[in-house]
Structure 1
Amino acid sequence: MQITSIETVPFTIPYRHPVVAASGVLRSAQHVLVRVHSDDGLVGVGEAVARSFVYGESQASIVAAFREWLEPAVIGLDPFAVEEILERTNWVVANNTARGALDIALHDLRGKATGLPSWRLLGGMQTSVQVTRILGMGEAQEVADEASQAFSEQGVASFKVKVGTHLLSDVARIAAVREAVGEDATIYVDANHGWTAEQAIRALTAMAEYNVALVEEPSPAGDRIGRLRVAQQVPIPIMADESAPTVADAARELTSGSARALSIKTTRTGFTESARLVALADALGARTLLGSQADSMIGAAASLAFGAAHPQVAREPGELDYFSVLADYVVTEPLEVRGGVLTASQRPGIAVEIDEDKLSHYRVDDV
């Protein structure tokens, strides 16, 4: 079995409403479908997410990275040669989601070749993962109403609230969500580096009374001294995300004491690197939660499969329904949150089949 070609299809799906965070505004899902073809006719699927204000990637740059570097590096290789493929592609610095999508597509291909779901090939058991709903930076009552609806209609009991701008508005948003979902629901916050260290200490001290479980990226990653001060002075544990995109970065954040949890984004680090991040965190006694790279259902299905393979990840809530913000989807069998959870599929690979008609409708050929 050999890799014969890699196909990239950029597609754009509008959001139901703009998604606002301290680091930028998203108005549409600008993604790239990655399909790895093999000589026996099987095709592995992955998804790369363009986030220019986070990693500097665009749909055009992702397509170019595959055409110029990643595809030539793997043509002719056995898709089961995990370490060899990683060795041949790791020299392509940055291009985070392009390399992550390639790794996931290869895992999907391995699943289809063996007839096994990816979570089984990764050594896991079929399991369910509690879903976290990501809430935006709207007015406090608006955000609280969205949380209440997800809680009552889908059983979602974990919420990540975007913060990182005006301190009083940020605190009011958390207070409103806590009132809406009750004391037993999990609430954590994501500042997207929007606060200074001093602002983070003030805001998080005020939020502590609302039983906030974690704070993701409270202050700029480059301010190492400030981040350590936040960790030392605030009773809420810090979760590293964009500050720890590699194993080396994660090791620095965890061993310095600047973070006590890692956001695992399989769209960013694939399955192979993500497994190393989980092992590192486990060795250092840190938590690992599934994050979202603004994934569609393709990326969410992959993340779910990875989470199901790792008990220390599956026991935490995961950001698995970001697709609810998208106006549509390009898979034939949509994911559905029931009782606040998603359950890993028994189908081979990451268990997604592409709706070719919808993909044709949303693809963009001018990147």
Structure 2
Amino acid sequence: MAQGRSAPLPFDFRRQFVDRIVHHVEKAIIGKRESIEMAVIAFLCGGHVLLEDVPGVGKTVLVRALAKTADAAFKRIQCTPDLLPSDVTGVSVYNRQSGQFEFRPGPVMTNILLADEMNRASPKTQSALLEAMEERQVTVDGETYRLPEPFLLLATQNPFEHEGTYPLPEAQLDRFLLRIRLGYPEEKHEVEMLERSQERNPLDEVKTVVLREEWLQLQREVRAVHMDDTLRHYIVRLTSATRTHPDVALGASPRASLSLMRTAQARALCSGRTYVVPDDIKQMAVATMAHRLVLQPEARYTGKSAESVVRQLLAAVPVPATQAASGGSR
């Protein structure tokens, strides 16, 4: 495929794209198809993902498997309290021979970056990724350097172990397109995992199935998926409702509205449609919005969660009646 291709890809190819990625990632992560599909949706949107769950459920394996399916550069950083911003973005080094400073890029100069245990990095180092996440660039010693295209950050964190960690600030959480939780596998899937891992590493079975140009082309096509005006109003009503909910101290930002629109478009494309339906929005709302909400202290003390608030609003906000885009799904 030629780079910069503008002709839409066939619908059968779009379905095959998602199926190929999911099939190969499932060779390493068993029984978590919904979480894998969520990661693929972020992949299509070019958005960043926060994988939040207890240790040992496969967060890092999921990222490595997803990265192996794409013909793209992949790098990993292990976040620790002594990790410096320059360890992430890169550093300018003086060259005695030329008499000039030369930029030596850090691991952020890649297509897919895994920030493992991101909440263990200091706030100063966490902030070094803010510009990269939003602007797709980094600034070192006054010079700005563009990141490769595409660029995708997948960060992991353990929500239960807080000793020696630095909670991600709201400004950084808002830059994650999705928050995904894997959870413990079912017993049958855990037994299958043991069987597969007995004599080999399941990651060795994951192959590259998507070219970089195909990835970029599908990201462009996500933006072209039709969304009815009534659905845009529906998204805004949902996000606005979080700002007035009595259990919420800080509601969803306009960036959340944009993210929900993008993820709904991507879900429609994965389903082989050229238009968004209300169910696309409802299916993506929790993963897109919940991590952006800050609950009132009394709500947290009574056991309420941001996810339950979003589900409550999905049940309360009326779903509009829409007409599918002309031409159907083809």
Q: Which structure is higher in strand share?
A: 1
Instruction: Give TM-score scaled by structure 2 length.
Output: 0.27
Instruction: Give TM-score scaled by structure 1 length.
Output: 0.25
Larger radius of gyration: 2
